[in-house]
């Protein structure tokens, strides 16, 4: 029995271009040609092609298929492939869970991971900074940040006002918002002590990560909002210090 390239490809469930690609890589030997110049493939060629396709289906890179021989090295390669597939499955499972949450919460498709339940209630700046936090803080910190965001939306008396604060807001308005926010911020600092020294919760070098966060804050929030955050932080630390002095 002799087959043409197209017939061989059909038998193996692949394409003519794929067969030709395997020839170029040296994975599949060039067959003999008929008198009319057309290639003719036999059973051995089919078996070789099916073996290649089997390894490809298992995830073996084409560059390594020629080295597979059934020895100990193959066991190591297959072990590596299994670990990679496991990681891919974990990523896909997480992606499906996040998609389900986005649909359930009717949230924007580009919501920060883990924040679909609140994304639609956040300002553009808050959504953006959460994307940055997602790359810079570890999973434990992100879980805490999610709780803090939910708490902020539910109990911070001036959250909406700060979101809408104009860049040229007067000093009295900034001070009023800072004083209103300070007790709320102090409570969060009390409940999540790592906020005072966040370096241990950062991914990568704390100095680099801290600078990235600072740059992002300056870029995403206007000067009046940043001033309120700084003032509220100072007032919150003063409140905590007073609590310690009286305890």
Separation of alpha carbons 209 and 183, rounded Å: 27
pLDDT value of residue 98: 92
DSSP helix, strand, coil percent of the chain (3-state; round to 5): 70, 0, 25
Alpha-carbon span 221 to 124, nearest angstrom: 10
Q: What is the pLDDT of residue 33?
A: 83
Can you give the pLDDT at residue 70? 56
pTM for the whole structure: 0.72
Q: Are 127 and 134 in contact (CB under 8 A)?
A: no
* pLDDT tens, position by position, 216-227: 999 999 999 999
DSSP single-letter state for residue 158: T
What does the pLDDT look like over 81-126, one tens digit per residue? 899 999 999 999 999 999 999 999 999 999 998 899 999 999 999 9
Centroid of chain to Cα 20: 37
Cβ neighbourhood burial of 149 (10 Å; 0-12, 13-18, 19+): buried
Q: Work out the burial of residue 32: count CB atoms within 10 Å of its CB; fewer than 13 is exposed, 13-18 middle, 19 or more buried.
A: exposed
The pair of structure tokens assigned to 247 is 């305890």
Domain 5-65 classified CATH 1.10.1660.10?
yes
Between 37-46, 69-78, 151-160, the lowest mean confidence (pLDDT) is in 69-78
pLDDT tens digits, residue range 233-245? 999 999 999 988 8
77 has pLDDT over 90: no
Tokens of 75: 């066991």
Average pLDDT taken over every residue of the chain: 91
User: For 17-43, what is the mean pLDDT?
Assistant: 89
Q: What is the pLDDT of residues 128-140, one digit of tens each?
A: 999 999 999 999 9
Sign (positive/negative) of CA torsion 92, 94, 100, 102? negative
Which pLDDT band holds residue 206 (cuts at 50, 70, 90)?
confident
Model confidence at 35: pLDDT above 80 = no
The pLDDT assigned to 72 comes to: 54
SS (H, E, C) 171-216: HHHHHHHHHHHHHHHHHHHHHCHHHCCHHHHECCCHHHHHHHHHHH
Would you say residue 202 has pLDDT above 60? yes
State the Rg of the chain over Cα. Answer: 30
| Domain ranges for the chain | 5-65, 122-246
More confident residue, 193 or 207: 193
The pLDDT of residue 142 is above 90: yes
Which pLDDT belongs to residue 102? 93
Confidence of residue 247 (pLDDT cuts 50, 70, 90): low
CB atoms within 10 A of CB 28: 20
């Amino acid at each position: 029995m002799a087959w043409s390239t197209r017939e061989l490809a059909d038998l193996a469930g692949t394409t003519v271009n794929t067969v030709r690609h395997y020839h170029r890589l040296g994975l599949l030997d060039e067959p003999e040609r008929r008198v009319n110049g057309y290639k003719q493939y036999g059973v051995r060629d089919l078996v070789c092609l099916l073996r290649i396709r089997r390894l490809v289906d298992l995830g073996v890179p084409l560059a390594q298929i020629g080295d597979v021989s059934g020895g100990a090295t193959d066991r190591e390669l297959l072990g590596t492939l299994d670990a990679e597939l496991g990681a891919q499955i974990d990523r896909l499972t997480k992606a499906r869970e996040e998609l389900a949450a986005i649909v359930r919460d009717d949230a924007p498709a580009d919501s920060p991971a883990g924040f679909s339940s609140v994304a639609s209630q956040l300002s553009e700046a808050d959504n953006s900074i959460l994307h940055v936090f997602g790359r810079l803080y570890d999973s434990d910190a992100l879980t805490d940040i999610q709780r803090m965001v939910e708490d902020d939306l539910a109990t911070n008396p001036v959250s909406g006002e700060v979101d809408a604060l104009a860049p040229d807001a007067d000093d009295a308005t900034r001070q009023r918002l800072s004083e209103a926010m300070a007790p709320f911020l102090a409570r969060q600092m009390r409940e999540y002590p790592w906020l005072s020294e966040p370096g241990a919760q950062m991914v990568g070098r704390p100095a680099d990560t801290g600078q990235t966060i600072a740059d992002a804050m300056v870029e995403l929030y206007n000067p009046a909002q940043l001033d309120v955050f700084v003032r509220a932080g100072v007032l919150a630390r003063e409140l905590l210090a007073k609590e310690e002095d009286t305890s």
